[in-house]
């Protein structure tokens, strides 16, 4: 990892650690959507900057090495913050659990009224990140990545759709809702570029094909 990305990740990790230990009385203001990814033209530029390399090994990977759904404020963890952000008319219990609301899944166009039907997808999956460079990060850096509310890395989607995605990259899986694929590719590249992660040749080709038609 370059010095620039190492320093950037250290800052993100420190911010996450601070958020995890802060006891604020109110939850973050809802944005009503995943953070907007960079434009298609910027994504194309970012993609050309990424190191192209065969994926690394999954040896040693564990989701536990990416501590996620950490406390963000008060009783609210990352999952509950995203559910509140991405939903409409979301009501939360005293423990910050989403007890009612409506959620539109951008991947498949389904609408849900029970939070249990939603997963919080990591745009760049944790295992994919591990194979693309995160295996060399510290636990604090992986925690920052897994709970990143600033980049377009987390989004509430239909649970079984997220499970079908698994840890696949865009060469092997894309949202069935084709009108969202441009946003998906922009977000994927945005996250990988920010964290200095690599792409393999098939992944880059798939992303180029999408971005060239955005």
DSSP 59: T
Residue 214's Cβ-side half-sphere holds a number of Cα atoms within 13 Å equal to: 22
- Helix (H), strand (E), coil (C) string for 152-206: CCEEEEEHHHHHHHCCCCCCCCCCCCHHHHHHHHHHHHHHHHHHCCCECHHHHHH
In tens, the pLDDT along 82-104 reads: 999 999 999 999 999 999 999 99
Q: Given a cut of 70, is residue 56 above it in pLDDT?
A: yes
- Dist CA 70 CA 49 (whole Å): 31
More confident residue, 154 or 23: 154
- Dist CA 115 CA 2 (whole Å): 39
Q: Given a cut of 80, is residue 6 above it in pLDDT?
A: no
Tell me the percentage of the chain whose pLDDT exceeds 90.
85
Q: What is the pLDDT of residue 134?
A: 98
- Dist CA 141 CA 91 (whole Å): 32
Q: What predicted TM-score, i.e. pTM, was given to this entire model?
A: 0.85
Edge-to-edge strands, sheet with 111-112: 88-92, 98-104, 111-112
What SS3 state is found at 34?
A: coil
Exposure class string for 104-132: b at 16+ Cβ within 10 A, else e? bbbbbebebeebebbbbbbbbbbbbbbbb
Q: What is the pLDDT of residue 4?
A: 41
Closest CA to 154 of 92, 45, 66: 66
Tell me the percentage of the chain whose pLDDT exceeds 70.
85
pLDDT band at residue 38 under the 50/70/90 scheme:
very high
Q: How many CB atoms lie within 10 A of CB 56?
A: 16
Q: Where are the alpha helices (DSSP H) in 22-108?
A: 40-49, 78-86
In tens, the pLDDT along 98-122 reads: 999 999 999 999 999 999 999 999 9
pLDDT band at residue 32 under the 50/70/90 scheme:
low
């Amino acid at each position: 990892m370059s010095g620039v990305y190492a320093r950037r990740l250290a800052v993100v990790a420190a911010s996450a650690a601070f958020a995890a230990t802060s006891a604020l009385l109110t939850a973050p203001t809802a944005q009503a959507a995943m953070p907007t990814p960079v434009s298609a033209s910027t994504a194309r530029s970012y993609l050309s900057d990424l190191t192209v390399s065969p994926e690394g090994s999954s040896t040693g990977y564990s989701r536990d090495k990416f501590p996620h759904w950490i406390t963000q404020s008060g009783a609210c963890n990352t999952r509950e913050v995203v559910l509140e952000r991405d939903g409409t008319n979301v009501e939360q219990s005293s423990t910050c659990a989403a007890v009612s609301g409506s959620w539109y899944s951008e991947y498949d166009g389904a609408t849900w009224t029970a939070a249990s039907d939603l997963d919080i997808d990591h745009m760049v999956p944790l295992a994919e990140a591990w194979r693309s460079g995160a295996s060399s990060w510290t636990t604090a850096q992986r925690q920052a990545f897994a709970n990143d509310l600033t980049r377009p890395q987390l989004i509430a989607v239909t649970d079984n759709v997220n499970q079908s995605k698994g840890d696949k990259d865009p060469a092997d899986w894309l949202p069935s809702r084709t009108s969202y694929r441009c946003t998906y590719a922009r977000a994927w590249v945005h996250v990988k570029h920010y964290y200095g992660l690599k792409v393999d040749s098939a992944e880059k080709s798939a992303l180029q094909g999408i971005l060239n038609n955005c």
